[in-house]
Amino acid sequence: MNLETLMNTPPWEWPQDGVRTILKILGDPSCDQPDRLLAAELTAISTSFNEEIIEALLSIVRDGDESEELRGASAIAFGPALEQVDMEGFDDPDDLDGVSLTEDRFRRIQDVFRLLFQDTSVPKQVRRRVLEASVRAEQDWHSEAVHAAYIGEDQDWRLTAVFAMCFVPGFEEQILESLNSDNPAIHLEAVRAAASWEMDETWSHVVSLAGEGGTEKQLRLAAIEAVAVIRPEEASKVLLELGDFEDEEISAAIEEALTMAELYTRFDLDDEMDGEMDDGRCDSGGGFGPDRDSGKTIH
């Protein structure tokens, strides 16, 4: 089975040699770069994030001879597993089914990421991807790192910072500022961050974006979701008045947001629905960070 077939097959239906195929291509420098990038992407959705996958990815992330793009993609591939640990806790070391991140493995990954991020000799793209992956499970060093990424003039770093604000608390002022950014990708991540922390002061802004047919589609989809979580008790009226059901993707987003708003209204998420729903944090598009998620090509 080749990589394209694996990409188009649910990971729980992969054959037994599926992961072996991925690892063989990922670890072979003679393979074409697009194939190795796809292999890294596939590790992020694998149902068996085991020791072999972890070591293969870390080896590439740390290897200065590998391309910046592949090192970054390998770092980002850790995102879903780190976030799952953050939400659900560590796996039983004796149970290797599913995403198997024990506490020891988690600490090893985060230690490598912290050291790489703090090493300014590491290429910017790699450091950005390391931070984007690492924040999916908040650590003590993240707040300072996100602040440093945000305050500079570099728009790439600022994009990474606003993406990270979905996961790292304490940046409401910066999120509000970023909602007025002329950079479409930063604006998109700011809307997602506002939804992540249910920022009521952004209500008018997200309602305007959700209802504006001329809004870029990914931004509008993010705003529709934000409407559902920021004021769920008012969301149904707003969403039903959008009246834009010709676009199937917009229509599906509205229906999903209506369901989400109903659930948020019916239950207190902190007390009554502990563990039944996600925590409203950014949908970061599988294993990938803001550049991929906002429709830009990672380069």
Residue 281 counted as domain residue: no
User: What is the mean pLDDT, run by run of 10 residues, along the chain of 299 residues?
Assistant: 90 91 96 97 89 95 98 97 88 56 91 98 98 97 98 96 98 98 98 98 97 89 97 93 79 93 76 50 60 41
Task: Find out whether 243 and 276 touch, Cβ atoms under 8 Å.
Answer: no
Residue 293 counted as domain residue: no
The boundaries of the domain holding residue 8 are 1-139
Task: Find out whether 179 and 187 touch, Cβ atoms under 8 Å.
Answer: yes
Closest CA to 142 of 177, 110, 107, 176: 110
Burial state string for 242-255 with b = 16 or more CB within 10 A and e = fewer than 16: beeeeeeebeebbe
Residue 233 counted as domain residue: no
Residue 35 counted as domain residue: yes
- Report pLDDT for 146: 98
Residue 182 counted as domain residue: no
**Count of the separate structural domains present in the chain:** 1
Residue 79 counted as domain residue: yes
Q: What is the CA radius of gyration of the chain?
A: 19
Closest CA to 232 of 272, 280, 281, 170: 280
Cα 82 to Cα 102, 126, 160: the distances in Å are 11, 18, 17
The answer to pTM > 0.85 is: yes
- Report pLDDT for 72: 98
Residue 84 counted as domain residue: yes
Residue 241 counted as domain residue: no
Other C-beta atoms closer than 10 Å to the C-beta of 66 total 18
DSSP string, the chain: --HHHHHTS-GGG--TTHHHHHHHHHT-TTS-HHHHHHHHHHHHH-S---HHHHHHHHHHHH-TTS-HHHHHHHHHTTHHHHHHHHHH-PPPTT--SSS---HHHHHHHHHHHHHHHH-TTS-HHHHHHHHHHHTTS--TTHHHHHHHHHHSS-HHHHHHHHHHTTTSSS-HHHHHHHTT-S-HHHHHHHHHHHHHTT-GGGHHHHHHHHH-TTS-HHHHHHHHHHHHHHSHHHHHHHHHT----SSHHHHHHHHHHHHHHHHHHHS-TTTTSTTTS--S-----TT--HHHHTTPPP-
